[in-house]
Amino acid sequence: MSANTSWLLLPQRRNAADYNMALDEALLQSVSILGCPVLRFYGWLEPSATFGYAQRYVEIEKLTLLRPLVRRPTGGGLVPHDADWTYSLVFPPNHFWYRFKAVESYRRAHEWIKDAFAKTNVATTLSPSSQKEIPGQCFIGAEKDDVLWHGRKIAGAAQRRTRDGLLIQGSVQPPPIGPERDQWETAMCEVAQTNYSVEWQMMPANGKLEELTNELRLRKYSQTSYNHKR
């Protein structure tokens, strides 16, 4: 990352699953207008699960009892959301992260997470290759460059690149011995400042973004017709 780069930070809030997915898509659609990358931390009002936009609902619903079960705007497999730490990264098309191949943006996001854990004295590694997985389930096995703790996957991500920008949605299943969530989030921001010269700005209230989020939630992510469409 170049020096003196301004990014927007959207602090953690717990929301309903359909709202979380709607806000991430709204950020993707709006990031060019916002003019700089966004890092968003978020949580969940209730245990729920999300699954990749290309997956078949009739297959995914058999793999978890968690409800609501909401289709993501990104790819990837089934992700349970209960005690996990979720985040999203959104980049406008004029940012160099947007120009990365998918494997490179995936690796860089997970290197960032690994460095943040190291800052809290938790040693993790990136998976050197794909490990055996159960089809459709994100945290059984591992993809290349997923974050591992003692050989077990603790962080994965999914991406979507459109003309509007690049969206990375990630989930961290925190190790049993490690930092509190706020400590890890602080470490994520400090790593970006130290390693990548990011200058953080708190994201101000944005009425148009909220309006778009609510529209997407109402007509898309809360609708059975969308979540069951494949």
Residue type, 82: D
Number of domains in the chain: 1
The pLDDT-based confidence of 118 (bands split at 50, 70, 90) is very high
Query: What DSSP string runs through 3-39?
Result: SSEEEEEE---EE-HHHHHHHHHHHHHHHHHH-S-EE
| CATH number for 136 | 3.30.930.10
Q: For residue range 55-74, what is the model confidence (pLDDT) as tens digits? A: 999 999 999 999 999 999 99
Residue range(s) defining the domain that contains residue 31: 5-227
Give the pLDDT score at 129.
86
Q: Which of 138, 147, 154, 192 is catalytic?
A: 138
The pLDDT-based confidence of 1 (bands split at 50, 70, 90) is very low
Q: What is the pTM of this model?
A: 0.94
Residues 29/220, Cβ–Cβ less than 8 Å: no
189 assigned to active site? no
